[in-house]
Amino acid sequence: QMCIRDSDKAKKHIGKECMIVSIEDEVAKVQIGESLWFAKGSNLSAGQSVKIIGVESSTFIVEMSK
């Protein structure tokens, strides 16, 4: 049940821009407010600004901000 709630909470962030805090093993962490979330996308690097375009379970799908 917690997964579903996390996913719903994550969906509220679609369309927002955020910053990549770190990347380890192809998995990025982004910060939104005080919270860290997992994110994935292509050609990501730490310190980069990205836009949330989708959610898969409770991981954001992100792309580089234009």
Q: Check whether 3 has a pLDDT greater than 70.
A: no
Instruction: Give the Cα separation of 66 and 58 in Å (integer).
Output: 24
For residue 43, the 8-state DSSP code is S
The proportion of the chain whose per-residue pLDDT surpasses 90, expressed as a percent, equals: 67
pTM: 0.84
Structure confidence by residue, pLDDT tens digits, 10-27: 899 999 999 999 999 888
Instruction: Give the Cα separation of 35 and 33 in Å (integer).
Output: 6
Mean pLDDT, range 20-49, rounded to an integer: 93
Instruction: Give the Cα separation of 21 and 3 in Å (integer).
Output: 23
Secondary structure of the chain: what % helix, strand, coil (to 5)? 15, 50, 35
